[in-house]
């Protein structure tokens, strides 16, 4: 694949991402209508026009930015068609497939109206809108898994393996964890075989994501006083720095404060500097916000990495995702009249 | 006016009824005092819980809006599919001064991390915090449902008792007293008539006696 051409195209797309000053303009808009008017001057115009037929206000913005995200990811994927790079990039986009499958399974378990389930799906992964619609049409959880298996979708494997336990307990958590852990294990195993720079870059991001997920699980488990043995079942394997043994020793600290001490002298020591009030209140979302910012910054900083590698598409995907999140935060905060300081804190700054 | 037999027997009956009605009124007053005391005790806890609920509701609403803003409403809705389930509550009853009030089983709806039914890997701590706050709100709403129902029932019982006391005090007892008074007056009147008649008869008899002697 011609990285020079593809990454030049992606860098051109990057130049159309909203910059800090534009976000400032959005923050200063007095209401949703003026926010929409401002967004209509950007690449979101097309999707805003389409969404405007059915929706208005905040829903119009949310539907439009969601559709734009999906369209953008498809464009990136189409640029990279063929070869190892496509399969690597698909690994990142597969997280939306996992999320969509989980949503469908949740909806089917409670016999939710199919249109309600469809509204919650973001077809940004390999499973496109048509495939997801077909899955939603299935009568129950088993039929969804069977259809995935028939199509040869790899995510049917953990679901089929754990379906028996699910049918005995009725606990969807069994299937969801199997799916989540399979996603990371499968991605890492696919990257293990490749020794290229691309594989190394992607693995680095995935391992950071696994670390962050595991740290969040540890902190949440400590806060909820979950038994160590139970919490261990939900750790994701695959990180060389934070293996099961290390995560267990952090869990043994028993307090958030103690757990944070274990994170000193690691890449995640920045969360130890979080204000004491959040530590005392055991406010996990405060730690989570910092960890997510770290991951986004790390991913977006790949823009300054090797220009002839997968670093640029990865950075672009994360930057686009962050932009969409920031627009949603600004729009939502506008309708509920959140103080500007709080709005700025909620934004993911890159 | 109701047809009353102005007899001594009737008067005794009326006096007994007055005594019974006054006893009933006193008992109802005591019941009302006890109910009012209980009502104020419950009201204090209701007003405390109400203000606590308002605060909790604001905090939960805020947490939900922040989660919606950062995590996308569709992610939240998806998580809600996993947590949706019915709530069964065991409701028993107890008597407070004869008033049946409900006792709702104290169940804790605040769930731990792995009890909500979704995998925490795809669901952020913000969604967890919003869920936790709404679960705490649900706990409080159920407690409040118990105390508010008790309060409403005690309130309507107090109203009913007050109406009964008023009916006894202002309608029944005065009516009975008036009837007793009427009987007393009628009996006295009859006694006086009897006395007058007897005196008249005596006079006639004496006059007849005198006439017989004279003739």
Q: Does domain A195-309 have CATH number 1.10.150?
A: no
* A140 lies within 8 A of chain B by CB: no
Q: Does some domain include residue B160?
A: yes
The conformation of residue B102, written as its DSSP 8-state character, comes to E
Helices A141-150 and A129-137, interaxial angle, to 10°? 140
Note the pLDDT tens digit of each residue in A132-189.
Answer: 999 999 999 999 999 999 999 999 999 999 999 999 988 898 999 999 999 999 999 8
* Stretches in chain A below the pLDDT threshold 70: 1, 193-194, 349-350
Nearest one of A195, A196, A238 to A214, comparing CA atoms: A238
Q: Name the minimum distance, in Å, from the CA of B104 to any CA of chain A.
A: 26
Q: Name the minimum distance, in Å, from the CA of B67 to any CA of chain A.
A: 9
Could B113 and A221 be called an inter-chain contact, meaning their C-beta atoms sit closer than 8 Å? yes
The conformation of residue A337, written as its DSSP 8-state character, comes to T
Q: Name the minimum distance, in Å, from the CA of A202 to any CA of chain B.
A: 19
Which positions in chain B have a beta carbon within 8 angstroms of at least one beta carbon in chain A?
65-66, 68-70, 72-75, 77-79, 81-82, 84-85, 112-114, 117-122, 124-126, 128-129
Position B58 confidence tier, pLDDT thresholds 50, 70, 90: very high
The pLDDT of residue A349 is 67
Note the pLDDT tens digit of each residue in B103-140.
Answer: 888 777 777 777 888 888 888 889 988 998 998 998 89
Judged against a pLDDT cut of 80, whether residue B166 lies above it is answered with yes
Domain containing B159 equals: 8-214
Compute, in degrees rounded to 10, the torsion defined by CA atoms A87, A91, A92, A93.
80
Q: Phi/psi at A89 (nearest 5 deg)? A: -70, -35
Burial class (CB in 10 A: 0-12, 13-18, 19+), B22: middle
Q: Does some domain include residue B155?
A: yes
Could B65 and A217 be called an inter-chain contact, meaning their C-beta atoms sit closer than 8 Å? no
Q: For residue B72, which residues of chain A lie inside 8 Å, CB to CB?
A: 62, 66, 325, 328
Give the Cβ contact number of residue B103 at 10 Å: 12
Q: Does some domain include residue B2?
A: no
Task: For residues A43 and B61, give the distance between their C-alpha atoms in angstroms, rounded to a whole number.
Answer: 33
Q: Does some domain include residue B3?
A: no
Question: Are B45 and B144 contacting, i.e. CB atoms less than 8 angstroms apart?
Answer: no
Return the structure tokens found at A3: 């990285």
Q: Pick from B65, B74, B114: which is nearest to A122 by CB?
A: B74
CB contacts under 8 A, A 172-191 vs B, are 172-173, 176-177, 179-180
Reduce the DSSP state of residue A168 to 3 states and report it.
helix
Q: Hey, where are the domains in chain A?
A: 1-79+321-350, 92-175, 195-309
Q: Does some domain include residue B182?
A: yes
Q: Name the minimum distance, in Å, from the CA of A82 to any CA of chain B.
A: 29
Return the structure tokens found at B9: 């027997």
pTM score, two decimals? 0.83
Average pLDDT over residues B27-51: 91
Q: For residue B120, which residues of chain A lie inside 8 Å, CB to CB?
A: 216-217, 220, 234
> Closest chain B residue to A62 measured between Cα atoms?
B72
Q: Does some domain include residue B171?
A: yes
* A121 lies within 8 A of chain B by CB: yes
The size of the A-B interface in CB pairs under 8 A is 111
The residue that leads in pLDDT, B4 or A43, is: A43
Reduce the DSSP state of residue B20 to 3 states and report it.
helix
* A110 lies within 8 A of chain B by CB: yes
The conformation of residue B110, written as its DSSP 8-state character, comes to P
Q: For residue A176, which residues of chain B lie inside 8 Å, CB to CB?
A: 82, 118-119, 121-122
Q: Pick from A106, A285, A328: which is nearest to B81 by CB?
A: A106
Q: Does some domain include residue B88?
A: yes
Judged against a pLDDT cut of 90, whether residue B95 lies above it is answered with no
Reduce the DSSP state of residue A63 to 3 states and report it.
helix
Q: Name the minimum distance, in Å, from the CA of B105 to any CA of chain A.
A: 24
Q: For residue A221, which residues of chain B lie inside 8 Å, CB to CB?
A: 113
Could A224 and B112 be called an inter-chain contact, meaning their C-beta atoms sit closer than 8 Å? yes
Q: Do domains A1-79+321-350 and A195-309 have the same CATH topology?
A: no
> Closest chain B residue to A327 measured between Cα atoms?
B69
- The number of folded domains in chain B is 1
> Closest chain A residue to B75 measured between Cα atoms?
A120
Write the CATH number for B165. 1.10.287.3240
Topology classification of domain A1-79+321-350: Topoisomerase I; Chain A, domain 4 (1.10.132)
The residues near A128 (Cβ < 8 Å, ≥ 6 apart) are none
**To the nearest whole percent, how much of chain B has pLDDT over 90?**
57
CB contacts under 8 A, A 220-249 vs B, are 220-221, 224-226, 230, 234, 236
Give the Cβ contact number of residue A304 at 10 Å: 10
The pLDDT of residue B2 is 64
Residue of A59, A117, A158, A224 to mutate for B, most B C-beta atoms under 10 A: A224
A179-to-A171, B106, B166 alpha-carbon distances in Å = 14, 36, 72
Residue of A35, A95, A120 to mutate for B, most B C-beta atoms under 10 A: A120
The pLDDT of residue B122 is 82
């Amino acid at each position: 694949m011609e990285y020079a051409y593809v990454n030049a195209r992606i860098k051109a797309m990057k130049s159309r991402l909203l910059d800090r000053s534009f976000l400032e303009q959005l923050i200063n808009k007095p209401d949703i209508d003026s926010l929409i008017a401002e967004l209509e001057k950007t690449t979101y115009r097309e999707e805003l026009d389409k969404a405007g037929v059915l929706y208005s206000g905040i829903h119009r913005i949310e539907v439009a930015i969601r559709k734009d995200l999906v369209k953008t990811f498809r464009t990136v994927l189409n640029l990279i068609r063929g070869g190892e790079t496509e399969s690597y990039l698909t690994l990142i986009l597969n997280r939306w497939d996992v999320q969509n499958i989980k949503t469908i399974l949740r909806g089917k378990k409670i016999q939710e109206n199919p249109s309600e389930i469809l509204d919650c799906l973001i077809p940004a992964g390999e499973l496109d809108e048509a495939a997801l619609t077909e899955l939603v049409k299935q009568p129950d959880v088993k039929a969804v898994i069977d259809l995935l298996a028939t199509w040869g979708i790899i995510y049917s494997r953990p679901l089929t393996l754990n379906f028996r336990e699910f049918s005995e307990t009725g606990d969807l958590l069994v299937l969801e964890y199997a799916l989540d852990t399979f996603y990371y294990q499968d991605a890492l195993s696919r990257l293990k075989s490749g020794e290229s720079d691309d594989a190394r870059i992607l693995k680095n991001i995935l391992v950071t994501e696994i670390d962050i997920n595991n740290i969040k699980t540890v902190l949440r488990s400590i806060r909820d006083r979950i038994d160590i043995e139970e919490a261990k079942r939900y750790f994701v394997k695959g990180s060389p720095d934070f293996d099961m043994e290390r995560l267990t020793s952090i869990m043994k600290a028993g307090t958030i404060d103690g757990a944070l001490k274990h994170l000193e002298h690691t890449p995640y020591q920045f969360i130890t500097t979080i204000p004491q009030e959040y530590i005392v209140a055991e406010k996990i979302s405060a730690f989570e916000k910092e960890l997510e910012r770290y991951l986004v910054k790390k991913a977006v900083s790949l823009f300054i990495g090797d220009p002839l590698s997968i670093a640029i598409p990865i950075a672009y995907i994360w930057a686009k995702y962050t932009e969409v999140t920031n627009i949603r935060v600004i729009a939502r905060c506008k309708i509920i009249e959140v103080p500007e300081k709080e709005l700025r804190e909620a934004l993911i700054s890159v | 006016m109701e047809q009353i037999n102005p007899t001594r027997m009737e008067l005794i009956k009326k006096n007994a009824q007055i005594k019974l009605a006054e006893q009933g009124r006193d008992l109802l007053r005591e019941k009302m005092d006890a109910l009012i005391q209980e009502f104020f005790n419950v009201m204090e806890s209701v007003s405390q819980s109400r203000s606590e609920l308002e605060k909790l509701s604001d905090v939960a609403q805020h947490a939900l809006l922040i989660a919606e803003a950062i995590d996308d409403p569709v992610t939240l809705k998806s998580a809600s599919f996993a947590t949706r389930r019915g709530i069964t509550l065991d409701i028993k009853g107890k008597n407070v001064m004869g008033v049946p009030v409900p006792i709702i089983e104290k169940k804790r709806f605040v769930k731990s991390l792995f009890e909500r039914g979704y995998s925490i890997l795809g669901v952020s701590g913000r969604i967890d915090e919003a869920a936790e706050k709404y679960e705490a709100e649900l706990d409080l709403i159920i407690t409040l449902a118990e105390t508010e129902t008790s309060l409403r029932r005690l309130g309507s019982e107090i109203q009913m008792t007050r109406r009964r006391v008023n009916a006894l005090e202002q309608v029944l007892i005065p009516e009975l007293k008036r009837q007793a008074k009427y009987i007393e007056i009628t009996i006295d009147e009859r006694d006086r008539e009897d006395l007058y008649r007897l005196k008249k008869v005596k006079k006639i008899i004496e006059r007849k006696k005198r006439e017989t002697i004279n003739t």
